[in-house]
Homo-oligomer: A and B are copies of this chain.
Amino acid sequence: MQAVNNLLERLEARDIRALARAISLVEDSEEGASELLASLSPRLSGSRIIGITGPPGSGKSTLTSKLARDFLDRGEKVGLLLIDPSSPFSGGAILGDRIRMQELSGRDGIYIRSLGSRGSVGGLSQATARVLRLLEHFGFSVIIIETVGTGQAETDVVETVDSVVVVAVPGLGDDIQAMKAGIMEIADVFVVNKADKDGADRTLRQIEAALQMQEGQGMHKVPVLATVASSGQGVTELVAALDAHYKYLADSGELQRRRERRLRKELIGYVTSVLMSDFFARSQADVDAKLADIIQGRTDVYTVGRFLSRKYINERVERDAKQD
């Protein structure tokens, strides 16, 4: 508790090393995390949260870096969170991304952190929500979350941000079909990066055509921008598109809805981890013994799961009944 109080004081004083320490605490320790997070003053967030996603090789780290630079240039405080779902296996961050971010490392007003899933109870989306809470509390005006790929982690991250930028590259060809089914629907702003390569115009047109098919719900029209992140071309336009989207969110009430969704998800995730910790504290020996039975074919996961969860729940239910 003393350690947490000390950390809270230093966070209030905007000590960047305290932020790094707090993020590590939130990542590593269930107990310390909730202690710390529950002690933060419950002020409303003034941070804009931007998510950037796209396949490996789309140049999105370079684009993220350039985008952060533009926000810094106009006086924003920028927090950059690099999500690395591969970490359960490697324990490390994606090296290439780090290298591409180096141009930012000397600047004031920016904080860069990468985050892996580490196999924690709530997984990556819960860790992201917690770190986001710390970054918001620390007072960054713009927070950018960069995530790789098209999997569940991305759909989770989408639910934690205000604006989603989807990055594609020229020469998608048939894949536009596959993209349509999923990733296109999460985009608030679409970017075709490496737009100096062959086929960029065709890819732009394909994406625009695909986006038109899903319009008509009276919502925000998704802009499709061409960028060359390595030279910075199109980054100013991307910042303008993000500003326009943020204004749309605020004016339409959608910003509030997205934040409500995020808070609900964060609350449920946290309650789940507390209840499961309690379950395991009471039932670990049962779980191990029954698992041995399952492996030897004497019973199955669902019979055991029903038994153990009912046992946990019924301890209370039975006593409720006796009290009547």
Contacts and interface: CB of A to CB of B under 8 A. Distances in A.
Interface in A151-182: 151-156, 172-175, 177-182
Interface in A71-127: 84-90, 92-97, 117, 123-125
A85 B151 contact: yes
A149 to B, nearest CB: 4
Given A181-B86, A271-B309, A37 B319 contact: no
Interface residues of A, number: 92
Nearest to A172: B57
A259 B34 contact: no
B85 A181 contact: no
A214 to B, nearest CB: 9
A271 B94 CA distance: 34
Contacts of A263: 291, 294-295, 301
Contacts of A175: 56-57, 96
Contacts of A172: 57
A183 interface: yes
A172 B56 CA distance: 9
A-side interface mostly: helix
B313 A275 contact: yes
Contacts of A315: 316, 320
Interface stretch (A17-25, A40-48, A244-252): A40-48
Contact of A124 (B152, B174, B271): B152
A271 to B, nearest CB: 5
A210 to B, nearest CB: 12
B267 A304 contact: yes
A183 B148 CA distance: 12
A150 B86 CA distance: 8
Given A42-B294, A181-B92, A37 B117 contact: no
Contacts of A38: 300, 302-303, 305-306
Interface string A267-282: 1101110111011000
12 contacts: A37-B301, A38-B300, A38-B303, A85-B150, A96-B175, A96-B177, A151-B151, A267-B294, A270-B305, A270-B309, A275-B275, A316-B316
